[in-house]
Structure 1
Amino acid sequence: MFVFDLPVSAAHTLVSALADAIEPAAGGLATALAIVLFTASVRLLLVPLAVKAAQGERARARLMPRLQALQKKHARDPERFRRESAGLYAAEGATPLAGCLPMFAQTPFFMVMYQLFVSATVAGHQNLLLAHTFLAAPLGQNWVGLVGAGGALSAAGLVFAGLFVALALVAWWTSRRAARTAPEGPMGTLARVLPFGTVVFAAFVPLAAGLYLLTTTAWTAAERAVLHRRIVAPAS
């Protein structure tokens, strides 16, 4: 049994129930809106982990100048540097992995949501979420397949175009913020370009997954802006 079968099935039940609950008000947009609301709800529940990750980032930023000084001082004695840096972390009540574990703890939730919105079947049955539409576009359709069928300029194609524009705007905002702290050279360039990969990725996955991707990346951008200002920035 695939490890995510049970949680994906449970998530399918929750999203379906949410879509049924809001259908009287949302009509044909109910399933798409349920995907957005479910994703936002999960991200809201994960905020405490995001705060822990941001606090860990602050701890690493606070210690970085001292660690760099130790590295320079003990450049010819790696073992001494290791002992000194371990002592520094212990004295400050931090660890080299501060913030990383809360970040990794969120990963299973993201994997479950992604699996739900890309899978044609859930627990051996058709994923009925993908059988609905958002405006004129089927939630189970991807842009590459649509273009292959000659529908790039169709009403469904315009829905995908709107999705790509929205993803590009979120990517631009994320890239702009990353540029403020990105190092010079290839790594800095990668940090600025990488957010735009979501636009390319969205072309190959079902529209349902594209809506999930838009919601979660927009949430991440807003969350990082708030947490950086309230938690990370004071360390600078």
Structure 2
Amino acid sequence: MDIYSFAPIAAVLDAAYSVVSGLAGLLDPIAGPASAAVAIVLITLALRLLLIPVGASQVRAEFTRRRLAPRLAEIQKKYKKNPELLQKKMMELYTSEKASPIAGILPTLAQAPVLSVVYGLFILPTINGHPNDLLTEHLFGVPLGTSLSHLLTTGVFSTDLLVYAVLLLVIAAVAFTSRRVALRFATPMADDAAPAMTRANAVLSWLPFITVVFAAIVPLAATLYLTVTTTWTLVERALLRRRYAPSHG
């Protein structure tokens, strides 16, 4: 079943189509052939502005977890041989402090529907029964509905690859920086903490790089969205961490 044919989702997609097409039309005198791409960038920035409160709550939760780190270390040391009880005690601590261990993934969850809409806008030949004219839009000559994986499978290596190379390099650089920053701000763990938790944290630290892989297989429009939103996240976190950093005297 095509999820985009489901009436409520088709209606949302059609509304998004109208917004992107309308904004692209307004930008056409300025941006020309890249008007749709610029529209996606502007819409992404607008959405990220709306999500700033979510990012702020995430950073506050991050500092809360660091404040709780000594108590978490004690719990990890005490219950490391009983994973179920360990998880229970940790959740009890988070609950008592009104903190959330999943606050870090909230911005990602909030953006997932947006990315799904952008993806749908640039893969479907028709949207809610009418032709999808967005598929004719380009960025530096590369169709916004084309993916890097598609270009590679065609065996045609052209300057189109440069557009993807630049975007993917930006995403990779952001992922690398985000991982280093995340490790620096990660909640300290006890030296003898449960090995499973240590391994889990090590694996999770590499999650930002999944975006690079994903960006290579989605349409260029979605890759552009990911480039803007990941870069925004990196800068936003830096500013919010400075804003909400605990004062020491």
- Specify the TM-score bucket, using the shorter chain as the normaliser: 0.7 to 0.9
3-state DSSP class of the match of 2:28? helix
Matched, 1:52 2:57: yes
Unaligned runs of 5+ in 2: 1-5, 190-197
1:13 match: 18
Matched, 1:151 2:156: yes
CA-CA distance at 1:55 after TM superposition: 2.1
CA-CA distance at 1:27 after TM superposition: 0.8
**Residue pair 1:130, 1:140 contacting (<8 A) in 2 also:** yes
Q: Distance in 2 between matches of 1:213 and 1:60?
A: 28
Matched, 1:201 2:206: no
1:43 match: 48
Q: Distance in 2 between matches of 1:206 and 1:84?
A: 41
Larger deviation: 128-137 or 175-184? 175-184
Matching residue's letter, 2:169: V
Unaligned runs of 5+ in 1: none
CA-CA distance at 1:141 after TM superposition: 1.1
Matched, 1:224 2:228: no
Matched, 1:163 2:167: yes
3-state DSSP class of the match of 1:203? helix
Judging changes above 3 Å, is the alpha-carbon distance between structure 1 residues 54 and 124 closer, same or farther for their aligned structure 2 residues? farther
CA-CA distance at 1:70 after TM superposition: 5.1
CA-CA distance at 1:202 after TM superposition: 1.9
Q: Distance in 2 between matches of 1:227 and 1:221?
A: 10
Matched, 1:234 2:234: no
Matched, 1:190 2:203: yes
2:103 match: 99
Matching residue's letter, 2:150: G
Q: Deviation per CA, 1:193-214, whole angstroms, max 9, x where unpaired?
A: 3323322222211111111111
Q: Distance in 2 between matches of 1:165 and 1:40?
A: 20
**Residue pair 1:130, 1:208 contacting (<8 A) in 2 also:** no
Q: CA RMSD in A?
A: 3.4
**Residue pair 2:174, 2:230 contacting (<8 A) in 1 also:** yes
CA-CA distance at 1:107 after TM superposition: 4.2
Q: Distance in 1 between matches of 2:111 and 2:214?
A: 21
3-state DSSP class of the match of 1:141? coil
CA-CA distance at 1:40 after TM superposition: 1.1
TM-score, normalised by the number of residues in structure 1: 0.79
1:142 match: 147
Q: How many residue pairs were aligned?
A: 232
Q: Distance in 2 between matches of 1:49 and 1:204?
A: 28
**Residue pair 1:56, 1:98 contacting (<8 A) in 2 also:** no
1:69 match: 74
User: How does 1:23-42 map onto structure 2 within 5 Å?
Assistant: 23-42=28-47
Q: Distance in 1 between matches of 2:142 and 2:66?
A: 45
Q: Distance in 2 between matches of 1:102 and 1:179?
A: 19
Q: Distance in 2 between matches of 1:2 and 1:197?
A: 31
2:121 match: 116
3-state DSSP class of the match of 1:234? coil
Q: Distance in 1 between matches of 2:227 and 2:144?
A: 14
